[in-house]
Amino acid sequence: MTIVQPSTPLASLATIPFTHERVLISTGSRSGLTISVAVHSSRLGQALGGARMWQYENWTDAVADSLRLSAAMTLKNAAAGLNRGGGKSVIHLPIGTVLTDAQKRDAMLDLGDAIESLGGVYMTAEDVGTSAEMMAIVAERTDHVCGLPADRGGVGEPADATAAGVYASIRSTLFALFGSEDVAGRHLVISGLGQVGGRLASMLASAGAELTVTDVNLAKKDFALLLGARWVDVAEAHRVRADLFVPCGLGGVLTDLVIGELGSRAVVGAANNQLANHDGARELDARGILWAPDFVVNAGGVIYLDMASRPDADQKVIDARVATIGDTVTKIFEDARKLGITTLEAAERLAAARLDATV
């Protein structure tokens, strides 16, 4: 089985092996924006993955992002034990574009039409650049959307569950390093204080962790002050001497240069596609830096969306399931050590075994 690696560089479409079941590229009839809906796999069930609206240099970059992100969702959903395939939607915004509320609405209606045309093979949700409220607009055109606001009959955004899964992964990573899951007194560097990173920072501060934080939005400095955290520039964050580096922004942060300069003993965070290239896992291993694979760590959100959308949803059961992400991270660390492979390879084997079991 060939799977596009979640770390595929965003260079060009030519660099990405095409293993997807279906990719729809369309121009929104209302918005005029290029919309890419990529379904990588439906082997385990209906594909599930969020809708991203972001600025790219070229529409082909947005399509390439949908390909690599949907492939990562196949791995994420399989490793999380969900009966879901992998898919992703990406709406291309030209650099410098700022949409009005009316234009955002048009874009979401166009997205809904694109998803509906696929006949139910893919379900979307909020992601970078979108929200639960925007998914409610998508729902005007298709039923194949989840994560709507509670007042619209939905289950809301999954950020709390994603943060909880990352927190469990942090505890497992600390145990692997120090023999204790206790975060009190441990120094963590969080890069990105958005929906997930901000929640995670609050959880860690409450548990007594020492925090160094950063974000491209300088207004987040006030939040850092409330947490009692030290603020550093984004470009300097990875160099800070700490126990853990916690990337919670956009992907591709672990470039060759950054890996060579990392000041932490391990990396575990919410950001998707953290590796700028697949070989980054070996480079981290060679430096003795423990990496918890992102598509395992940040699966709390899709677990929540999948389970909370069921008629028999039980929040306690969902919370317990999200907490098991930490157990999966521990297993990946153990398998990597026993087999002499990288943690990425161990995580990919875990996902592939479940996918292959369906053949």
Residue 250: the pLDDT is: 80
Section 46-56 average pLDDT = 96
Per-residue model confidence (pLDDT) at position 1: 31
DSSP symbol at 275: B
- Rounded Cα gap, residues 167 and 255, in angstroms: 24
Mean pLDDT (whole number) for 138-156: 93
pLDDT value of residue 332: 98
Query: What pLDDT, on a 0 to 100 scale, did the predictor assign at position 7?
Result: 34
Q: What percent of the chain has pLDDT over 90?
A: 88
Q: How confident is the model at residue 156 (pLDDT cuts 50, 70, 90)?
A: confident
Average pLDDT over residues 120-144: 96
Please report the pLDDT score of residue 334 as a whole number: 98
Q: Are 238 and 258 in contact (CB under 8 A)?
A: yes
Confidence of residue 13 (pLDDT cuts 50, 70, 90): low
- Supply the pLDDT for residue 120: 97
What are the boundaries of each domain within the chain?
A: 13-73+85-152, 159-356
- The CATH number given to 13-73+85-152 is 3.40.50.10860
Give the model's confidence band at 358: pLDDT under 50 very low, under 70 low, under 90 confident, else very high. low
Paired residues of 267 in beta bridges: 245, 291
Give the active site residues. 88
Alpha-carbon distance 273 to 256, whole Å?
14
pLDDT given at position 9 = 39
What is the average per-residue pLDDT within 53-78? 95
Q: Does the 159-356 domain belong in CATH 3.40.50.720?
A: yes
pLDDT at 270 over 50: yes
Q: Does position 289 have pLDDT exceeding 90, yes or no?
A: yes
Among 2-16, 95-109, 203-217, 304-318, the minimum mean pLDDT is found in: 2-16
Model pTM score: 0.90
Q: Are 238 and 266 in contact (CB under 8 A)?
A: no
List, in sequence order, every beta strand (DSSP E) within 95-221.
122-123, 187-191, 210-214
Pair of tokens at residue 259: 């890996």
Indicate the pLDDT class of residue 153, thresholds 50, 70 and 90: confident
* Total residues belonging to the chain: 359
CB 37 within 8 A of CB 24: yes
> How does residue 359 score in pLDDT terms, banded at 50, 70 and 90?
low
Same fold, 13-73+85-152 and 159-356: yes
269 and 166 in contact (C-beta within 8 Å)? yes
Residue 93 has pLDDT above 90, yes or no: yes
Q: What is the 3-state secondary structure (H, E, C) of the chain?
A: CCCCCCCCCCCCHHHCCCCCCEEEEEECCCCCCEEEEEEEECCCCCEECCEEEEEECCHHHHHHHHHHHHHHHHHHHHHCCCCCEEEEEEEEEECCCCCCHHHHHHHHHHHHHHHHCCCCCEEECECCCCCHHHHHHHCCCCCCECCCCHHHCCCCCCHHHHHHHHHHHHHHHHHHHHCCCCCCCCEEEEECCCHHHHHHHHHHHHCCCEEEEECCCHHHHHHHHHHCCEECCHHHHHHCCEEEEEECCCCCCECHHHHHHCCEEEECCCCCCCECCCCHHHHHHHCCCEECCHHHHCCHHHHHHHHHCCCCCCHHHHHHHHHCHHHHHHHHHHHHHHHCCCHHHHHHHHHHHHHHCCC
